[in-house]
A and B are shown apart, each in its own frame.
Chain A
Amino acid sequence: MARDLLRVENLSTRFFTGEGQVNAVESVNFDVREGEILGIVGESGSGKSVTALSLVDLVESPGRITAGQVWLRNPDLAEEFPEAADGSFVDLRELPNGVRRSLRGPTFSMIFQDPMSSFNPSITVGEQIAEAVEVQRRATANPRSTRSRTQGYGLASYLVDGLAPGRDYTDEASHERAVELLEQVGIPDPAERADEYPHEFSGGMLQRAMIAQALAGEPDLLVADEPTTALDVTIQAQILELLREIQTERDMSIVLITHDLGVIARMCDRVGVMYAGEIVERGTLEDVFDDPIHPYTQGLIGSIPDLDDPAPRLQPIEGNVPSLLDSEMGERCYFANRCPKAMQECLQPPGEREAGGEEHAARCVLVDREYDELDALPDNYFGSGGERG
């Protein structure tokens, strides 16, 4: 069995906005193994994107990670920063900022949902990928110093480059590598395309380019935030294929964030289901799809139309996604107001419970007991409005 690459324990990320505190991610636990694809699935607003950003330390003000540990397997760093270490793992949150940021590229990499808005419209695609290569090149030459990454790029360069961008920062070698990367992700005529601007690429091509950029540092872990959502269905399949190819070739891990169960089924080894900022169920693909415990997961799986056994009507999950405002969240199972199997016990937070199998776990009392009508909460317990099916 492959080793763990990343272990997330108790991660919480909150946003401190004018309207109050938003608990985007609440005490999330999961781990990622070397060479596996972990899927995180949920509706909009479930916290999956914020989780992804939290992994790579890209959460921006007014949000920040408020609790938890992100353990990364890195014996070298563990040796260098023993106060943050536990065996061969280091807690990323305990590392100095510069060190943590230097992991972006060689260790982590991220691709985003909309490729067109993830590239600078006024710089050629090749140049931007070459930048990624260049940053890594400079970093490996001089790992601990962040200054090296900006060496030879003084104030004057800023202004000049701002006005008449040339290849001041990147050099020929980086450009060649960029073209290589473009080729590896299946872009035809990579040398010509490298000199073109993002708006000249189609969505699918640009997503490939983004993947190429993400591979520049040869990362151990790629975080993909809804990489196919903005694309046509046929292109989606191609991109997913590409990801799988790359993953196998390089034995890379991928955290794949999506709301599309079909994508999960196709790509992932293990899955985490998110709802209202929590992981409500996690396990292998079979665990979650064939034997879902949490009623939310059951609802998700149940809402997939089945060709073999077409039901007259689709089975939706009643109700709406809850607010994540701290002031409006109570201390209970957050799904209880929409759950068809809510019981008295569910007025307490259920906590994460192991359900047997490899690592099947769910935040639900149903792990340990059966649903009993007698203990059920009355229909309008959480207010009127037909919220429970």
Chain B
Amino acid sequence: MASFGRFLAKRVLQGLVVIFGVITVLFLLRYITPGSPVDFIAPLDASQATRERIADSLGLNEPLYVQYADYVVSLLQGDMGYSYRSGTAVRPRVFAKLPATLELAVVATFVAIAISIPLGVVSATRRHTVPDYVATLFSLLGISTPNFWLGVMLVVVLAVQFGFFPTSSRPVGLLDALGNLVVIAGPERGWALPLRVDPFLSDMQNWLLHIVLPAITLGTYFTALITRLTRSGMLDQLGRGYVRAARAKGLPETLVRYRHALRNTLIPVITVVGLQLGTLIGGAVITEAVFDWPGLGSLVIDAINNRDWPLIQGCLVVIGAGFVIVNIVVDALYAKLNPQVMD
């Protein structure tokens, strides 16, 4: 049986290949799509000479492989080029927006898993009771509702009608809020850590209020999906021979359910979750659009509308890389649960 370390190394290597593929595809995509960035940058009445000059300055007249090599080399050095539209460096912009998207994704995923697995288990073990019907109905609705519509409706009802939550935006980030707790003053003033509790509390409250609706919007589909999968998985496992054998040897029911049945249920659930992460990221893009949440999603849409290639590439490379990383983590988790897969 292969060791876990070797398995992980193999997956990481595969991941790198994929990221490379992503970069290449993005690069080629630029050349297939109609419209040259020059059209966006040059003034409408620019002369041919001016356009040539612009194209030159953007490096568009070099042979294809040269441009490709340039791009890859600079990527490896951490340079993602400069936005066509604003001329600012791409990388700082992308990474500045990353935390917002990460917050949203992590909170939504966390809440989704925390709700859905217990819900799925309860639904499976107490069939044909009220909790089961409620869970089933909820999960059916959850996978059938477009998340952007849910977001708009939530805003209409909870924010506009009742005013419980703000309607959009994200004035303060989590790290900013946490930053209130830890302030390292520096060697001159001594490494004192004054805890600014009040600003921390108000910042946290601010952050929480603003993230609730977007997180619900993003997380609902996932919650519903995992609930369904957990429920059907548990039902399947509870009917299997080893469950009966486990009871026969005297294991208490709770152990049978969680240590045995749930464990084997989670295995395929994790696979599907991994496959569906793409949906989560797509959902994040939409949620950001609905709530004016300043993250990568909004950035990438703007970039696409402006044909701002360096920015598009930068965003998509980061999104693709993040996706690959998360998939590797999911695969590792899966291998821990189901060691047969490492052979």
Contact = CB atoms under 8 A, between A and B. Distances in A.
B245 A112 contact: yes
A119 B249 contact: no
Contacts of A104: 247-250
Nearest to B127: A61
A51 to B, nearest CB: 15
B340 A197 contact: yes
A135 B250 contact: yes
A102 B250 contact: yes
A123 B5 CA distance: 20
Of B245, B247, B267, B338, chain A has the most CB atoms within 10 Å of the CB of B245
Of A106, A122, A165, chain B has the most CB atoms within 10 Å of the CB of A122
Contacts of A102: 250
A139 B250 contact: yes
Interface stretch (B17-25, B139-147, B150-158, B236-244): B236-244
B337 interface: yes
A235 B340 CA distance: 26
Interface in A100-137: 101-102, 104-106, 109-110, 112, 114, 117-123, 131-132, 135-136
B40 to A, nearest CB: 49
B311 interface: no
B249 A213 contact: yes
B339 interface: yes
A105 B249 contact: yes
Interface stretch (A156-164, A352-360, A369-377): A156-164
Contacts of A114: 241
B266 A162 contact: yes
Contact of A149 (B248, B252, B340): B252
A354 B14 CA distance: 75
Contacts of B240: 117
Contact of A163 (B247, B251, B252, B337): B337
B86 interface: no
B250 A118 contact: no
A310 to B, nearest CB: 40
Contacts of B252: 135, 146, 149-150
B268 to A, nearest CB: 12
Contact of B339 (A132, A139, A197): A197
A260 to B, nearest CB: 21
Q: Give chain B's interface residue range (CB within 8 Å of chain A).
A: 20 to 34
A259 interface: no
A101 B264 CA distance: 24
Given A117-B242, A121-B264, A165-B259, A136 B336 contact: no
A244 interface: no
A332 B254 CA distance: 45
Nearest to A147: B252
A121 B339 CA distance: 10
A177 to B, nearest CB: 14
B250 A136 contact: yes
Nearest to A116: B241
Interface string B323-343: 000000000010011111000
Contacts of B255: 131, 149-150, 153, 169
Contacts of B340: 121-122, 197, 199
A351 B151 CA distance: 71
Interface in B223-249: 240-242, 244-249
Contacts of A213: 245, 249
A144 to B, nearest CB: 14
A387 B266 CA distance: 51
Contacts of A101: 250
B249 A169 contact: no
Nearest to B255: A150
A163 B246 contact: no
A217 interface: yes
A131 B242 CA distance: 13
Contacts of A135: 249-252
B245 A217 contact: no
B250 A122 contact: no
Given A139-B250, A153-B255, A197-B340, A122 B241 contact: no
Given A119-B242, A214-B249, A150 B262 contact: no
Contacts of A146: 252
A135 B333 CA distance: 28
B66 to A, nearest CB: 49
A216 interface: yes
A123 B246 CA distance: 12
B263 interface: yes
A158 B259 contact: yes
B95 interface: no
Contacts of B338: 122
B260 interface: yes
Interface in B262-283: 262-264, 266-267
A119 B333 contact: no
Contacts of B133: none
B250 A110 contact: no
B258 interface: yes
Contact of B259 (A58, A105, A110, A162): A162
A273 B75 CA distance: 79
Contacts of B250: 101-102, 104-106, 132, 135-136, 139, 217
Contact of B248 (A110, A162, A164, A197): A110
Contacts of B258: 158-159, 161-162
A158 B267 contact: no
Of A60, A135, A162, A165, chain B has the most CB atoms within 10 Å of the CB of A162
Interface in A141-185: 146, 149-150, 153, 158-159, 161-165, 169
Given A161-B263, A162-B259, A165-B263, A118 B251 contact: no
Nearest to A196: B1
Nearest to B243: A120
Contact of B262 (A105, A106, A109, A162): A162
Given A117-B240, A169-B259, A163 B254 contact: no
21 contacts: A56-B248, A58-B248, A101-B250, A102-B250, A110-B245, A112-B241, A112-B248, A119-B242, A120-B263, A120-B264, A122-B339, A122-B340, A123-B263, A149-B251, A153-B255, A161-B259, A162-B258, A164-B336, A164-B337, A165-B263, A169-B259
Among all A-B residue pairs, the 3 with the closest Cβ atoms: A105-B250, A117-B241, A118-B245
Interface of A: 56, 58, 60, 101-102, 104-106, 109-110, 112, 114, 117-123, 131-132, 135-136, 139, 146, 149-150, 153, 158-159, 161-165, 169, 197, 199, 210, 213-214, 216-217
